[in-house]
Amino acid sequence: MQQMGEEYLFYLSVERGASPLTVKAYRGDLADYLGFLERAGFSDLRKVTRDDVVAYEDDLVHRDLDGEGARYSAATVQRRVSMLKGFHQFLVREGVCEADPTSRIPLPKKPERLPDVLSIEQVDALMDAVDTLWNGAIAQRNRTMLEVLYGCGLRVSELVGLDLSDVRFDDGFLSVVGKGGKQRIVPISGMAQRTLAAYLQDTRPQLLKPYSKPTAAVFLNARGGRLTRQSVHVMVQRAGKAIHVQNLHPHTLRHSFATHLLEGGADLRAIQEMLGHADIATTQVYTHVQRTHLVEEYLRAHPRAGL
């Protein structure tokens, strides 16, 4: 069974072009599923039935993760069920199994969750908090990263993946490599551009070390190497706590970028292009955020709303 698991992961990587992060996530999901089957006494994937798959899904939903009642999120359960459906479809295509036990098992519905968004005042406070938490070159670098995350709506992986050649100040754009290796152009101007220009001219040279390997990375760590996603997450969470926003994530700045653009009258298709969404439906979640905000403002401000 493990061998077929490896072949499926190879298929995802080579034939489907899945990213290394996706393959890594699926490897963990697949190991969990195959481990469940092995504990249930299975050694032959051809003998797995629909009832066995349903039992695994039920185990995912009710599994106690920490002994105190913590459960997997609906999104995690949906991803794992999606993975095992894809795995069994692969087994049928490869002739390993005659039937797909997941064919009549629907994907569990993921409840719609509106993205967390900072107010404009919170964004301003977040930027100001940097100088109270860090000093010198690190403070300037962190301020620049926050400005670019919010000013350009980048994913954290896109931020740390930026190279010097991706910065095109003359054209007013960043060249960004997004999900699936897709390249897009993102406008940069105003505060984000001024802060990034100052960082590249004055701060980045301070972070380069004589002993560090040459790098084209825009954002560097204290040793002169490319900054990691994890480091950015830690920085953003620390800055968030300083303004009393717990568990702030870099993606919240991306959500805020899109929501504030929409509230300012930007076209939804333009926002879709800037975010790098393949499907307009993904971008439309921000219209729900805007409607929620409108209702809140109405209830707060209209003299007869609370009557």
Query: Is residue 80 located within the same domain as residue 134?
Result: no
pLDDT in tens, 175-209: 998 887 888 888 888 899 999 999 999 999 999 98
CA distance 195 to 203: 10
What six digits make up the tokens of 63? 């599994």
Q: What is the domain-level CATH number for residue 167? A: 1.10.443.10
Q: Are residues 157 and 236 in the same domain?
A: yes
Lowest mean pLDDT among 11-25, 153-167, 231-245: 11-25
Residues 275, 135 share a domain:
yes
Residue 108 lies in a domain: no
Q: Which of 85, 204, 254, 255 is catalytic?
A: 254
Q: What is the pLDDT of residue 253?
A: 94
Domain assignment present for residue 105? The answer is: no
| The predicted structure's pLDDT at residue 113 | 61
Give per-residue pLDDT as tens, 95-107.
Answer: 999 999 998 888 8
Give the mean pLDDT of 4-17: 90
**Annotated catalytic residue, options 26, 56, 150, 286:** 286
Of the residues 43, 74, 93, which one is the last residue of a structural domain? Answer: 93
Q: Which of 27, 179, 229, 293 is catalytic?
A: 179
pLDDT above 90 as % of the chain: 52
Q: Which domain holds residue 81?
A: 2-93
**Is 125 found in the same domain as 80?**
no
C-alpha of 154 from chain center? 10
When pLDDT is cut at 50, 70 and 90, the band that residue 36 belongs to is: very high
Spatial contact of 232 and 156, defined as CB atoms under 8 Å apart: yes
Q: Is 27 a catalytic residue?
A: no
Q: Is 155 a catalytic site residue?
A: yes
Let me know whether 130 and 273 are in one domain: yes
- Among residues 71, 79, 233, 251, which one is catalytic? 251
Can you tell me which residue has the tokens 């992986």? 157
Choice among 59-68, 81-90, 120-129 with the minimum mean pLDDT: 59-68
Q: What is the pLDDT of residue 290?
A: 61
| Spatial contact of 262 and 271, defined as CB atoms under 8 Å apart | yes
| C-alpha to C-alpha distance for 105 and 277, rounded to whole angstroms | 28
- State whether 35 and 85 are in the same domain: yes
Can 213 be counted among the known catalytic residues?
no
Percentage above 70 pLDDT, the chain:
89
Q: What is the pLDDT of residues 269-303, one digit of tens each?
A: 888 888 887 777 767 766 666 666 555 655 665 45
Is residue 88 domain-shared with residue 133, that is, in the same domain?
A: no
In a domain, 113, yes or no: no
In angstroms, the CA 272 to CA 282 distance is 8
Catalytic residue among 71, 249, 277, 293: 277
Mean pLDDT of the region 58-85: 83
Same domain, 204 and 279: yes
- Measure the CA–CA gap between 118 and 109, rounded to whole angstroms: 27
Report if residue 75 sits inside a domain: yes
For residue 104, being part of any structural domain is answered with: no
Query: Structural domain tally of the chain?
Result: 2
Is the predicted pLDDT of residue 307 greater than 50, yes or no?
no
pLDDT tens across 197-255, in order? 999 999 999 999 888 788 999 999 999 999 999 999 999 999 999 999 988 999 999 99
* Residues 229, 137 share a domain: yes
For residues 20 and 68, membership in a common domain is answered with yes
Q: Is 100 part of any domain?
A: no
CATH of the domain at 67: 1.10.150
- 306 inside domain: no
Instruction: Tell me the average pLDDT across 45-52.
Output: 92
**Active-site residue, 288 included:** no
**Residue 101, in any domain of the structure:** no
Does residue 87 sit in the same domain as residue 162?
Answer: no
Q: Let me know whether 154 and 266 are in one domain.
A: yes
The chain-wide mean pLDDT, for the chain, equals 87
Candidates 80, 88, 155, 204; catalytic one: 155
